[in-house]
C-alpha cells in the first residue's frame, strides 16, 4: 500500500458532497468528507467563520506510532469546532499535549454566498521540529488566522508529529518498515502530506479553491516547505510555496548512510535510545520502543530535530533543487537580518563556530567584524549573525537561484525592520520576527507587536504581498512596490523594511558568496 493510500484512504470514505460548490444555508455548519463540523465567530470578527480542532487523521499512538497516518472514522453529529485540539508531544509545554494531535484549524469568510472560490494558505509552524503548534491566537479570538482570512483567503493551520515521534529512525523500526513498505523516519512529513490531502478534499466546502493552495511556514516550518517542495509524495497537493527562514542547505542525516560527518539516522536513533538508559536491553524491538511513554521520548536529544533524507525526502533540498527535481510551482523564500538569535540554542562558542570555516576562518571573521579572537560582545554578535546567515539566508539565495532548473519563478526577501524600542537589544531583525507582519494584523500604534505606524504599514504591505501571491502566484499589484523575480545575475531581493519595501540588488552579497562556497565544497560543487 503506497503512502498516499495509507494516509487518506480517500476512496473508502463517503464524500458527502465535500467538494460541492453549493453554499450551505448555515455558513458555520460545514460538511467535510468525514462528517459535519460547526464553527464559530471569533471575538470582534463577525465577518469570519473559524473552525478549530478538526481531526485530519486518527491518533498515531499505540501500534500506529511511527507509522503513516490513516483516515479518521466518519461521524454524523456535528463536531463542535470551537476549541483547539491538543498539541503534539514536546518538552516543557504549558498546553495540553497528546499523541492524539493530528488536528487542523480553518478560518474563512462568514459570507461565502455568491463569491468565487478563495485561495487557500496552509500555515506550517516552526519550533525546530521539536516544539510548536498550529494555534494562531487563543480561542475565541484567534487573531492571526482572522487577520489573513479577512483579506480573501482561506487560512488553514496544521500540526504534525515532533521530535522522536516525528523524525526518528531505529534499526528495529527499519525491519518493520521494510516488511510493510511504509516510509521510515520522517513521520512528521507524512502528517503534513495527510493534512494537505485533507485540504484537497475539503477546501471547497469552506469556500476555498483546491487548485490554489499555498504552503507557508517559518524556521522548521520553512524547512518543511522546502522539504515538501523536494518530496515526490507531495506532488499536486500545493501550487505555490513560501519558505520563511527555511533552511535547505544545512546538513541532514541520511536514513542508512553516514554522510557530511553525521552518522546515519538509524545509528543516531539507536545511540539516543542507548544513552537514555531505558531498561530495554541491547537490541530493543519495535514493540519495546512503542511501550515507552511520549514523556520518555520527549527527553531524547537536546537539540533540534530535522527531516531525514533517503526516505520521504530523497536528498537535502539544495541538492534536489540543483537537480531540477523540486516541484515546479512559484516560490518565495527569504530570511531576516539577524537570524542569529538561534545561535544560542547550539551551545557553540564564537571561536568554535568560526573554526568550522577552516582555511576561510580569517575571511569569515573579517566579513562579519570579528577580527579579534577574543570572547567579546562583538565576536559573539559576529558569530551569531554569520551562523544565522549560514543556516537560513544562504539557503534562500541558493534555492531561489536553483529555481532556474524549472519553469516557475522564485522571489527572495530580506526582512530588516526592527521596531525602535527593540533596536538596543537586537542588531537586526530577529529570527521569526517577520511572522507577525506576514499575518498583517497591525494592532494599535505602539503595540508590542508593531511599535508604531511604520510597523503597521509594513505589516499591511507584507500581508498584501503574501495573499496576492496565494491568489495568482505573483505578489505584485494594488500599487505596492514592484517585487521582481529572482535571477542570479541581478541578485535582487525585496528588502522588507520601513518606510516601505524596496527591491535591492546584492543583499549582503560578499558574505553570502563565502557561505555558498562553503556549502558547495561540502556537497561536492553541485
Cite the active site residues: 219, 339, 431
CA-wise closest residue to 255 among 163, 181, 174: 174
Strand partners, 49: 108
Beta carbons of 431 and 342 less than 8 angstroms apart: yes
**Distance from C-alpha of 177 to C-alpha of 184, rounded to nearest angstrom:** 6
Grid look-up 540588488 returns 505
Which distant-in-sequence residues (6+ apart) come within 8 Å of 108 by Cβ?
A: 48, 49, 51, 118, 149, 154, 155, 206, 207, 208
- Which residue intervals of 403-481 are DSSP H helices? 435-438, 453-472
CA-wise closest residue to 495 among 463, 464, 462, 473: 462
Beta carbons of 493 and 483 less than 8 angstroms apart: no
Beta carbons of 90 and 130 less than 8 angstroms apart: yes
C-alpha cell recorded at residue 480: 505596492
Beta strands in 377-459 (DSSP E): 410-415
Q: What are the backbone dihedrals phi and psi of residue 296, each rounded to the nearest 5 degrees, phi first? A: -65, -40
| Ordered strands of the 208-218 beta sheet | 48-55, 103-109, 154-158, 118-124, 208-218, 240-244, 331-336, 410-415, 492-496, 502-505
Torsion, CA 481, CA 486, CA 490, CA 495, rounded to 10 = 40
Give the three-state DSSP class for 458. Answer: helix
Torsion, CA 271, CA 275, CA 280, CA 282, rounded to 10 = 50
C-alpha cell recorded at residue 136: 494562531
Give the three-state DSSP class for 477. Answer: coil
CA-wise closest residue to 333 among 493, 479, 489, 481: 493
Beta carbons of 381 and 427 less than 8 angstroms apart: yes
Alpha-carbon radius of gyration of the chain: 23
**Distance from C-alpha of 513 to C-alpha of 224, rounded to nearest angstrom:** 25
How many other β-carbons are positioned within 10 Å of the β-carbon of residue 281? 8
CA-wise closest residue to 483 among 465, 499, 460, 467: 465
How many other β-carbons are positioned within 10 Å of the β-carbon of residue 407? 8
How many other β-carbons are positioned within 10 Å of the β-carbon of residue 509? 12
Distance of CA 487 to the CA centre of its chain: 24
Amino acid at each position: 500500500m503506497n503512502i498516499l493510500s495509507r494516509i487518506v484512504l480517500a476512496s473508502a470514505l463517503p464524500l458527502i458532497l465535500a467538494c460541492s460548490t453549493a453554499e450551505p444555508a448555515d455558513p458555520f455548519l460545514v460538511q467535510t468528507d468525514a462528517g459535519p463540523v460547526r464553527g464559530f465567530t471569533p471575538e470582534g470578527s463577525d465577518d469570519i467563520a473559524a473552525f478549530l480542532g478538526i481531526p485530519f487523521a486518527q491518533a498515531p499512538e499505540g501500534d500506529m506510532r511511527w507509522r503513516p497516518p490513516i483516515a479518521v472514522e466518519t461521524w454524523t453529529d456535528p463536531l463542535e469546532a470551537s476549541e483547539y485540539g491538543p498539541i503534539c508531544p514536546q518538552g516543557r509545554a504549558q498546553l495540553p499535549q497528546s499523541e492524539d494531535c493530528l488536528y487542523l484549524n480553518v478560518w474563512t469568510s462568514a459570507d461565502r454566498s455568491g463569491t468565487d472560490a478563495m485561495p487557500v494558505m496552509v500555515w506550517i509552524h516552526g519550533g525546530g521540529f521539536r516544539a510548536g503548534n498550529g494555534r494562531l491566537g487563543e480561542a475565541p479570538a484567534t487573531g492571526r488566522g482572522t487577520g489573513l482570512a479577512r483579506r480573501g483567503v482561506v487560512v488553514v493551520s496544521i500540526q504534525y508529529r515532533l521530535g522522536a515521534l516525528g523524525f526518528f529512525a531505529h534499526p528495529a523500526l527499519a525491519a518493520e518498515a521494510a516488511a510493510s513498505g511504509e516510509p521510515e523516519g520522517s513521520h512528521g512529513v507524512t502528517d503534513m502530506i495527510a493534512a494537505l490531502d485533507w485540504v484537497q478534499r475539503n477546501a471547497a466546502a469552506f469556500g476555498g479553491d483546491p487548485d490554489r493552495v499555498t504552503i507557508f511556514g517559518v524556521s522548521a516550518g520553512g524547512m518543511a516547505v522546502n522539504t515538501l517542495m523536494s518530496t515526490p509524495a507531495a506532488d499536486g497537493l500545493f501550487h505555490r510555496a513560501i519558505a520563511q527562514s527555511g533552511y535547505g542547505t544545512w546538513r541532514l542525516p541520511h536514513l542508512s548512510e553516514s554522510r557530511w560527518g553525521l552518522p546515519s539516522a538509524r545509528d543516531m536513533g539507536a545511540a539516543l535510545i542507548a544513552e537514555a538508559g531505558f531498561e530495554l536491553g541491547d537490541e530493543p524491538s519495535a514493540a519495546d520502543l512503542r511501550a515507552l511513554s511520549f514523556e520518555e521520548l520527549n527527553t531524547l536529544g537536546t537539540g533540534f530535530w530535522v527531516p531525514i533524507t533517503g526516505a520521504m525526502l530523497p536528498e537535502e533540498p539544495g541538492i534536489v533543487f540543483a537537480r531540477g527535481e523540486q516541484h515546479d510551482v512559484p516560490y518565495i523564500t527569504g530570511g531576516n537580518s539577524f537570524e542569529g538569535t538561534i545561535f544560542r540554542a547550539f551551545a557553540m562558542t564564537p571561536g568554535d563556530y568560526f573554526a568550522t570555516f577552516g582555511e576561510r576562518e580569517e575571511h569569515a571573521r573579517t566579513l562579519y567584524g570579528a577580527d579579534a579572537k577574543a570572547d567579546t560582545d562583538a565576536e559573539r554578535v559576529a558569530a551569531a549573525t554569520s551562523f544565522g546567515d549560514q543556516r537560513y539566508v544562504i539557503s534562500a539565495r541558493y534555492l531561489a537561484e536553483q529555481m532556474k532548473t524549472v519553469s516557475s519563478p522564485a522571489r527572495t526577501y530580506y526582512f530588516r525592520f526592527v521596531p525602535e524600542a527593540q533596536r538596543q537589544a537586537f542588531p537586526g531583525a530577529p529570527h521569526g520576527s517577520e511572522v507577525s507582519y506576514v499575518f498583517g494584523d497591525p494592532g494599535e500604534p505602539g503595540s508590542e507587536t508593531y511599535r508604531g505606524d511604520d510597523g503597521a504599514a509594513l505589516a499591511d504591505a507584507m500581508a498584501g504581498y503574501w495573499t496576492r501571491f496565494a491568489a495568482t502566484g505573483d505578489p505584485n499589484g494594488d500599487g505596492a512596490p514592484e517585487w521582481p523575480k529572482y535571477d542570479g545575475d541581478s541578485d535582487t531581493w525585496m528588502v522588507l523594511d520601513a518606510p516601505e519595501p524596496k527591491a535591492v540588488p546584492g543583499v549582503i552579497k560578499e558574505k553570502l558568496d563565502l557561505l555558498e562556497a562553503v556549502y558547495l565544497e561540502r556537497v561536492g560543487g553541485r
